[in-house]
Copies of this chain bind each other. A is one copy, B any other.
């Protein structure tokens, strides 16, 4: 959808005109009271559910939406009952206006000139999309991680337009450690000689080295120590298999160039978990516990975990935009609704009138359960209606994208007992 009216941003800048890519699932009811907005995290998109078909009507491989386990007919967020909207955020690289697209003022690709956007700006843009769709009030707004921050911000910026907020694996702000990981990832990108101050498009190159490192760092923080030990441990990479460095996806398959930013976002987040299960061939356990037949090399892959991380980094660098990565991590850093209230989250959340479901996962060390509990406490301080589930799951932060039956059960119950008209 095109928006011709300029959007003022928290930075003081504005975007003169812009497009938002979105998808919808299910039917909007007559009184337009069954809409559920899904907000996405760091590198997902508006493609939250369902699959894409090719020209012959066949399902495209790996085209499932990133929250397809959660959203669809008969699923916890049931599209036979709710009208679900997925929207790609401003500044992203999957169809909405972002750094890879042309600045109408200069007729050049934005690159580093794309303005810094905040969680609040995204929510403002999403509210305009709802205006255009004729939806006054959301039955629910829902998101995980950075998406959960948007859901929380909706309840503060537009309290009268949100009946329920579902905030999963999120936090009221980033800790110093969270910011630190973001900053290392940004420095890896910015100091890549192919970054060219963010105007790499003009030079016909991509800062892939930096993106690979950024993605590898990110990946470590998405997984728990437990699940890494279980899936990889100290297992060595099988010596007879082709080198991991060669196992990229087919050239161009996921590649986006300026002006080509397609709407088919890769289902990477769910893809990660399937990669965990199958993509990396492993040695039999007995072999791994023999005296280690190392290559004694600092640069070759020795351990499975190295192979997995390199593969994830290589894949990501093929499809994700470096400027989008910088913008999105900054939006994470900046989010802090309590900052206007002297750091008092209870005062900050007094504005919210929605009902809330918060969900966290025991092994998530990126956004630990204690961070969700801070939100729960602040809402209870304001006598709000809050449900909270702390799910005992081994998968770390990634758990919010996986198909855990207790997690799915909690969301299903909340939608049926609280959100359903």
A interface residue numbers (CB < 8 A to B): 10-13, 112, 115-116, 173-177, 179-181, 183-184, 186-188, 190-193, 198, 209, 212-213, 216-217, 219-220, 223, 225, 228-229, 231-234, 289-292, 294, 296-299, 302-303, 305-306, 309-310, 313, 323, 326-327, 329-330, 333-334, 336, 339-340, 342-343
B217 touches A184 (CB 8 A): yes
Would A290 and B339 be within 8 Å (CB), given that A11-B296, A176-B232, A326-B298 are in contact? yes
| A289 to B302 alpha-carbon distance, docked (Å) | 47
B contact residues around A303 at 8 Å (CB): 176, 179, 183, 333
B contact residues around A186 at 8 Å (CB): 298-299
Q: Which residue of B lies closest to A342 (CB)?
A: B289
B173 touches A234 (CB 8 A): yes
B contact residues around A112 at 8 Å (CB): 298
A234 touches B187 (CB 8 A): no
Return the contact of A292 from the options B216, B223, B225, B334 (Cβ within 8 A). B334
Nearest 4 A/B pairs, CB to CB: A11-B296, A298-B326, A176-B228, A116-B296
A229 touches B175 (CB 8 A): yes
Return the contact of A213 from the options B188, B228, B231, B330 (Cβ within 8 A). B188
| A212 to B326 alpha-carbon distance, docked (Å) | 18
B contact residues around A233 at 8 Å (CB): 175-176
B contact residues around A187 at 8 Å (CB): 212-213, 216, 310, 313
Return the contact of A176 from the options B229, B289, B298 (Cβ within 8 A). B229
B contact residues around A310 at 8 Å (CB): 183, 187
Query: Shortest Cβ distance from A313 into chain B, in angstroms?
Result: 7
Copy tally for this chain in the complex stands at 2
Offer 17 A-B interface pairs, CB within 8 angstroms, sorted by A.
Answer: A11-B296, A13-B296, A115-B296, A174-B234, A175-B234, A176-B305, A177-B223, A179-B305, A180-B306, A183-B309, A184-B309, A187-B216, A188-B213, A192-B209, A198-B299, A294-B334, A298-B327
B contact residues around A327 at 8 Å (CB): 298
| A10 to B298 alpha-carbon distance, docked (Å) | 15
B contact residues around A198 at 8 Å (CB): 299
A116 touches B298 (CB 8 A): yes
Query: Shortest Cβ distance from A122 into chain B, in angstroms?
Result: 14
| A169 to B190 alpha-carbon distance, docked (Å) | 34
Q: Which residue of B lies closest to A344 (CB)?
A: B289
B contact residues around A234 at 8 Å (CB): 173-176, 179, 336, 339
Query: Shortest Cβ distance from A210 into chain B, in angstroms?
Result: 9
| A126 to B291 alpha-carbon distance, docked (Å) | 23
B contact residues around A296 at 8 Å (CB): 10-13, 115-116, 330
Return the contact of A340 from the options B12, B183, B193, B291 (Cβ within 8 A). B291
B contact residues around A290 at 8 Å (CB): 339, 342
Query: Shortest Cβ distance from A213 into chain B, in angstroms?
Result: 5
| A302 to B333 alpha-carbon distance, docked (Å) | 9
Would A305 and B180 be within 8 Å (CB), given that A193-B193, A297-B116, A298-B116 are in contact? yes
Query: Shortest Cβ distance from A180 into chain B, in angstroms?
Result: 5
Query: Shortest Cβ distance from A55 into chain B, in angstroms?
Result: 39
Query: Shortest Cβ distance from A265 into chain B, in angstroms?
Result: 22
B339 touches A220 (CB 8 A): no
Would A326 and B309 be within 8 Å (CB), given that A176-B232, A213-B188, A339-B291 are in contact? no
